[in-house]
Amino acid sequence: MIEKTLKGKPAYWVWLAFLGMFMAVGAACYVRQYNFGLGMTGMSRNVSWGLYISQFTFLVGVAAGGVMLVLPYYIHNYKDFGRITILGEFLAIAAIVMCLLFIMADLGQPMRALNVVLHPSPHSMLFYDAIVLNGYLFLNILCGWVILTAEKKQVKPPKWIYFFVYLSIPFAVSIHTVTAMLYCGLPGRHFWLSAIIAPRFLASAFAAGPALIVIACLVLKRVAGFDAGRKAMNKLVTIIIYAALLNMFFVGLEFFVGYYSNIPGHKHALQYLFFGLEHHGHVYNNLVPFMWAFVILAFGAIATLATPAAKKNDFVLGLGCVALFVAFWLDKGIGFVLAGFVPNPLHEITEYVPTMNELGITIGVWATGFFVVTVLYKIAIGVEHEVEEC
Amino acid sequence: MDKQRRKFLKIAGASVIAGIGAPAIIKLSGTSAHASGGRVVPAAGHAPAVAHGAHGEEAPKGVRLGMVIDMRKFADKPELLDGAISACIDAHNIPQYPDKKNEIKWLWKAPFESVFTDQSAYHSSKRITETDFAVLCNHCDDPPCVRACPTQATFKSPTTGIVAMDFHRCIGCRFCMAACPYGARSFNWQDPRPYIKKYNKNFPSRMKGVVEKCNFCAERLALGQEPACVESCKGTGAITFGDLNDAKSEVRAILDKEFTIQRKPTLGTKPSVFYIV
């Protein structure tokens, strides 16, 4: 099936070359960082995780979001998702590839990464994260490939594969739960020390992941002659709206706990994110515009997707999904990780601004993810077309 | 290689504890009025039958090295703390960067409100507001950084209770920095060697991409010496070092006599550094 990636319209090659350019820039930036050290980034002693880990966190959600297609299709036999479930699985693969690249980019000593395997440490949440992420990657490659091969041959998928399909469902939940546990089990980081982090992560994942799949379907409809069908899209929109509302509800609960209890430690990070945090006469607020953009975009997107127009008009649907994806990226891919470091354990404030080199690597990894998903979707759509022809 | 190194350190540590091979037993700042004059570090396994702590804390087992910092002494003589800090810097090849971003700190100064964020600083006395407090790794009895580390590059020494680092195993994920509630850990954002002012051949310099922090001078203890900061304050009683689990130790004598506080005790990390404010 891999041969399908080698034949395409000029636009396909131009798109891959376009992504390849950013990948090359990212690689060059990474060589610089590898040689000099992580001092090439905007991270510091006080904000010791930056864009890499925040992108990782967000993309784990995108990967987990694929389960919103797998679960209705395989467990509830929701046939309308039949054509697009493979898109969810392939998106998960690309997202996990990005996650692993971001982790590698963030390591101070990447050549020692295998120490996590050589010296397994069951008390560390990173140990479990490595297991579930790689496990989920493996499951999606296996299930996606076997089921697509069966489709190509126009036979039923082998029975044994369903074991792995069903297994991938708890794995999807586990990757984001364990990722949340990286944060919510740390004493002394009040913003992260909240039992609602894992559910909140899952809610935002189940909105942002499917939103990206809807966007992908709309793009594929235009460029690849692949129509996922309105019924499937509208069902996805329903899932997106409920998950997005849940995420906003959970964010609201964080505000209630912080502000009603009036415990300073529980308010600081929220103050920093949404209003600016005053310290020794200086107001630190460089994330405030991002967070209000998140709130406005999120509610705007939910309202847009809930209108009848989104059920019929592709443009309105696409607009709503893009807005929602960006909103939840701002929330989890920017705000959540960075605010955990403000203030630091000594109640000092350091603000984080990524460097150009760091942005280059970040964009390079994203481009790699889009490259992977393009190639995988090319295979999936190619098989679909082949089956339709005969 | 790494394993052998660690094994060596463990054996070296253990032999100090047992009093074998080390030229002298670690001696505490003996001039203090509370000096017990006896051995500081007891033979391994000699867990004293002390009264149980409040709230059902389990009976102490083995050696738990700890420290009492008498801030009254530092308030009277601020230069003492500066001396201790520079002794620490010289002993461990700690790079001195001009900027805050790259900072590597093992022992440093911070105001009361930063060190004791849970304590009220409302209308504090002049001595509190004007004195710089000594800040270092707390060598917690239940260290969150050790729990977080995915490679056991940071670990609690079973023989001394020191929270130690293996610079050769650390992958630089900085999970421990997020986990430490005391801000005690620093990361080498770049090669630190050009920023080391005076090179000490008896302690390794680090490479870029690894985390580091105070090690209670495990390498000096192995030679029967006191930690560099303790030695630098010798005779003043500003810092007292020893086994918190040994009822006869000098630190215990001070803990029994004075009112001491720990940083963020509510987090359950059981810090081994105590302060007399």
User: Which residues of chain A lie closer than 8 angstroms to B264, CB-CB?
Assistant: 188
Backbone region of residue A74 per phi and psi (left: phi > 0; alpha: psi in -120 to 50; beta: other values):
alpha
Cβ contact, residue pair A344, B208, below 8 Å: no
- What's the mean per-residue pLDDT of chain B? 83
Residue with the bigger pLDDT between B82 and B23: it is B82
State ipTM.
Answer: 0.91
Alpha-carbon distances of A330 from A51, A210, A249, A323, A354, rounded to whole Å: 11, 17, 17, 11, 15
Please check whether residue A252 touches B, CB under 8 A: no
Residues 6 or more apart in contact with residue B178 via CB below 8 angstroms: A48, A49, A183, A186, A189, A340, A341, B148
Spatial separation of the C-alpha atoms in residues A23 and A366, rounded to whole Å: 8
**Per-residue pLDDT at B13 exceeds 90:** no
A291 sits in the region (left: phi over 0; alpha: psi -120 to 50; else beta) called: alpha
SS (H, E, C) chain A: CHHHHHCCCHHHHHHHHHHHHHHHHHHHHHHHHHHHCHHHCCCCCCCCCCHHHHHHHHHHHHHHHCHHHHHHHHHCCCHHHCCCHHHHHHHHHHHHHHHHHHHHHHCCCHHHCCHHHHCCCCCCHHHHHHHHHHHHHHHHHHHHHHHHHHHHCCCCCCCCHHHHHHHHHHHHHHHHHHHHHHHHCCCCCCCCCCCCHHHHHHHHHHHHHHHHHHHHHHHHHHHCCCCCCHHHHHHHHHHHHHHHHHHHHHHHHHHHHHHHHCCHHHHHHHHHHHCCEEECCEEECCCHHHHHHHHHHHHHHHHHHHCHHHHHCHHHHHHHHHHHHHHHHHHHHHHHHHHCCCCCCCCCCCCCCCCHHHHHHHHHHHHHHHHHHHHHHHHHHHHHHHHHHC
SS3 B24: coil
Q: How confident is the model at residue B24 (pLDDT cuts 50, 70, 90)?
A: very low
- Beta carbons within 8 Å of B253's beta carbon, 6+ residues apart: B34, B35, B36
Q: Which two tokens stand for residue A233?
A: 């899209």
Neighbour count for residue A312 (Cβ, 10 Å): 11
What pLDDT, in 10s, does the model give residues A141-193?
999 999 999 988 999 999 999 999 999 999 999 999 999 999 999 998 999 99
Specify the DSSP element, H or E, that contains B114.
helix B112-115
**CA gap B114, A348 in Å, rounded:** 7
Average pLDDT over residues A112-119: 93
The CATH fold of domain B2-52+60-276: Alpha-Beta Plaits (3.30.70)
Task: Determine how β-strand B65-70 pairs with β-strand B107-110.
Answer: unpaired
- CB count within 10 Å of CB B54 equals 6
- pLDDT top residue among A5 and B46: A5
DSSP character for B222? T
Contact flag B170-A108 (C-beta cutoff 8 Å):
yes
Please provide the average confidence, as pLDDT, over all residues in chain A: 93
Give ∠ CA B79-B68-B84 in degrees, rounded to 5.
Answer: 25
Interface of B with A in 162-201 (CB under 8 A): 169-175, 177-183, 186-191
Task: Point out the residue among A41, A187, A346 whose CB comes nearest to the CB of B115.
Answer: A346
**Residues on chain B touching A347 (C-beta within 8 angstroms):** 113-114, 117
A37 and B189: CB-CB below 8 Å?
yes
B187 vs A48, A110, A347: nearest CB: A48
Per-residue pLDDT reduced to its tens digit, B85-143:
999 999 999 999 999 999 999 999 999 999 999 888 788 888 888 899 999 999 999 99
CB hemisphere CA count around A308 (13 angstroms)? 0
In B, residues 109-148, which contact A (CB 8 Å cutoff)?
110, 113-115, 117, 135, 144, 146-148
Of B135, B210, B264, nearest to A109 by CB-CB distance is B210
Report CB contact under 8 Å: B115, A107.
no
Higher local confidence (pLDDT), B203 or B42: B203
Whole-angstrom Cα distance, residue A147 to residue A136? Answer: 16
Other residues' Cβ atoms within 10 Å of the Cβ of residue A82 = 15
Do B183 and A345 count as a contact with CB atoms less than 8 A apart?
yes
Q: What is the pLDDT of residue B66?
A: 95
Q: Tell me, yes or no, if B210 comes closer than 8 A to chain A by beta carbon.
A: yes
List, for residues A54-79, the tens digit of each pLDDT value: 999 999 999 999 899 999 998 998 88
Please name the amino acid found at residue B55.
H
Asked if A333 and A287 touch (Cβ cutoff 8 Å), the reply is no
- Confirm or reject contact between A281 and chain B (CB < 8 A): no
Q: Residue A329: is its pLDDT beyond 80? A: yes
Number of neighbours of residue A114 by Cβ within 10 angstroms:
10
Which secondary structure element, helix H or strand E, spans residue B241, and what is its range?
Answer: strand B239-243
Beta-carbon separation of A121 and B264 below 8 A:
no
Q: 3-class SS at B227?
A: coil
CB contacts < 8 A, A to B, total 145
Residue B34 has pLDDT above 70, yes or no: no
Mean predicted confidence (pLDDT) in B199-227: 94
pLDDT tens-digit map of B82-100: 999 999 999 999 999 999 9
B150–A112 CB contact, under 8 Å: no
Q: Using a CB–CB cutoff of 8 Å, tell me whether B5 touches chain A.
A: no
Of A48, A109, A112, the CB nearest to B178: A48
Q: What tokens appear for A58 in the block?
A: 């967000």
Q: Are A61 and A176 within 8 A, CB to CB?
A: yes
- Supply the pTM of this predicted model: 0.90
Please say if the pLDDT value at position B15 is more than 70.
no
